[in-house]
Amino acid sequence: NLPGINEVDYLTSDNLWQLRELPKRLLILGGGPIGCEMAQAFQRLGSEVHLVEMSERLLTNEDPDTSTYVARALQDDGVTLHLGTQAKAFSQTEEGVELSAESEQGEQSLHADRVLLALGRQANLEGFGLEELGIEQSKTIQVDEFMQTSLPNIYACGDVAGPYQFTHVASHQAWYATVNALFGRFKRFRVDYSVIPWVTYTSPQVANVGLTEQQAKAQQVDYETTCYDIAELDRAIADGNANGRVKVLTEPGKDTILGVNIVGPQAGELLAEFVLAMKQGIGLNKILGTIHSYPTLAEANKYAAGEWKRAHAPEKLLKWVEKLHRWLRS
C-alpha cells in the first residue's frame, strides 16, 4: 500500500525467478527471514544491498541476541542496514527506483536498480472456485483439526491452509489430509503441531523448535536458560566457522526441553536431535549420555546438555564424595 509502489517494477519471492541480471544496487524492504536470506545472498553474489526494516532490529520473532548475530553477519558481508526506518513512498527514475524513507535521523532518499519486497506472504486463494463451492475462507482456507474444509469431501494443506508457511509443515499436513480423506470413515487423525522446527538460512543459520526466550516471557512460562558457545567447539574452530551458540530452555530444576534456539554453522542439522528429543519426551540428561562422534558440530548439543548438568550438580552429594575420597587417601 506504499504510494508509488505500483509504478515501480518490484520483485517478490514469487517472481524473483524473472530476474535476468544481477542488480548493481538492490534495495530490500523487510528484515524478516526472507529479507535477511536474500540480502546476504545477493551481497555475496556481487550486488550492493541496502536492507530497510522499520523495527529497531532484524528478525523480530527471534530473541534479541539472535538478531544481533545475524545483523553482525550481514554487515560483515557488506550489507547496509537501515533499521528503525519507515518506507514512505516509491518513485521511478531514469536510473532505477527511489525510496523516500524516514528514521530518527530524518528523511532520506535511497536509490537502487531494483527493489525486492520481503514483507511476508499470503495464501493465493483465487482461481480455484472456492467461493462458488462455498468453502469457508478468510486469509486462508478454513480447515478443522483433521485438515477438512467446510465441505466434508474436500481437504486442504500447505500455505493455503496455514497456520505455518513451511514446506516441511505442508508435507506433515499432507499425510493427515490424505489419510483422513481416504480412511476418515473408519478412523481420523488430528494434525499434530506440538513440535514444529523452523530455520532461517542465513550464514550463520538460525534454527528453532519449541519456545524462544521472548515467547516464554510473553506467555509467562517459567524457564531456565542454558547456553553453549560454539566458539569453543573443536570442529567449528577447525572449519574456521566458530561463531554462534546453542540456547536451550528447560523447565526450572528439570531437564525437560521447552525450546531450543541455535545460531551457527549447520544449525538446521543440529536442531534435528532436539526436535526428536522434544517429540519423544527425551531430556538433556539422555542427550548428555549419548556418544557423539568427535570432531563434529553435533557435539555442541551434548556440550549444551553438559552445561545444564554442571549448573544442576548435586552439591551435597559431591561434598560427601569429596569427604569419602579424602578419607580413602588418608
- Measure the CA–CA gap between 26 and 28, rounded to whole angstroms: 6
pLDDT in tens, 61-115: 999 999 999 999 999 999 999 999 999 999 998 889 999 999 999 999 999 999 9
254 pLDDT band, cuts 50/70/90, is: very high
Q: Measure the CA angle with vertex 59, ends 214 and 212; round to 5°.
A: 25
Q: Sheet containing 106-112: give its strands across.
A: 86-92, 97-103, 106-112
pLDDT at 216 over 80: yes
As given in the structure block, the three cell numbers for residue 266 are 549447520
Tell me the torsion sign for CA atoms 99, 49, 263, 270: positive
**How does DSSP classify residue 137?**
B
Average pLDDT over residues 130-144: 93
Closest by CA position to 246, among listed 234, 265, 260, 266 = 260
pLDDT at 321 over 90: no
pLDDT in tens, 12-37: 988 898 888 999 999 999 999 999 99
The per-residue pLDDT for 324 is: 85
The per-residue pLDDT for 161 is: 96
- Measure the CA–CA gap between 98 and 95, rounded to whole angstroms: 9
**CATH annotation of 5-117:** 3.50.50.60
Average pLDDT over residues 216-244: 97
326 pLDDT band, cuts 50/70/90, is: confident
pLDDT in tens, 161-197: 999 999 999 999 999 999 999 999 999 999 999 999 9
pTM for this entry: 0.92
Q: Tell me the Ramachandran region of residue 156: left when phi exceeds 0, alpha when psi lies from -120 to 50, beta otherwise.
A: beta
The per-residue pLDDT for 266 is: 97
Query: 197-311 is classed in which CATH architecture?
Result: 2-Layer Sandwich (3.30)
pLDDT at 199 over 90: yes
The domain segmentation of the chain, as residue ranges, is 5-117, 140-193, 197-311
DSSP string, 276-311: HHHHHT--HHHHHTS---TT-TTHHHHHHHHHHHHH
pLDDT at 120 over 90: no
